[in-house]
Amino acid sequence: MQLFAHRGISDLAPENSMAAFELALAQGADGIELDVRLMSGQVVVMHDASVDRTTNGTGLVSQFNHNQWQGLDAGDGNPPPTLRQVLAFVAGRCEVNIELKSVDLVPQVATEITNAVEHLGFGLTQLCVSAFDHRLLVQLTALLPKVAIAPLIASCPVSLAAMAADMDAQAIHCHTETTDMDLVGDAHNKGLKIRVYTVTLAVDLLRLRQIGVDAVFVNDVEWARSILNENV
């Protein structure tokens, strides 16, 4: 079962910061999960619509310009990074899951993925794009037909994995509480991976491994690895 660092190692460093992503690689994460929004035409790494919770600033991400953005502190002494900065740092050393948090950035994300594959050492299979708004994933695959996509779901669909298969997705990203053997089995039968967010309890981590989940998003990879190794 793969271990993805949720917003980097966000238990030990500010979420979605370069410090958190550096820790993810240091801990040997199989993948990094991050969130992106659009700021003055740039794809920046930020979960919330505003910068209030995670920086020393206030205001909506969409209302900042480049100079104002550079004045922010994401908690590690640096402004929140751009997607390109993070991809250049990772440089293909692990997988990266890019979650789309706003509706206006699909073309820009497609450009960043193309750049990462052509210039930053990534294979296309190392990059996956997820979103709760599944329409954004359809828009993205119209621009990049071979990109890996994963619809995010917060509940278990009546049709199980069918909706993801119909989208030609490669995976489904599911909530811990609603992931069960029926969903995992149906996904695997349809050639889909199941990745589960966000696992913070040992009992959930062990249950998900037992039912065959492919990957989990965790806030501390070393914590998760130690739990799994102690309960072989």
In this structure, the strands spanning 42-45 and 31-39 are antiparallel
**6 catalytic, yes or no?**
yes
How far are the Cα atoms of 44, 214, 219, 220 from residue 209, in angstroms, in the given order? 33, 8, 17, 17
Amino acid at 67: N
Write out the two tokens for 32.
């990094």
Phi, psi angle pair for 111, to nearest 5°: -65, -40
- SS3 assignment, position 209: helix
User: For residue 128, what are the β-bridge partners?
Assistant: 97, 148
Residue 177 is classified by DSSP as G
- SS3 assignment, position 79: coil
- SS3 assignment, position 28: coil
Distance of CA 159 to the CA centre of its chain: 24
Which active-site residues does the annotation give?
6, 47
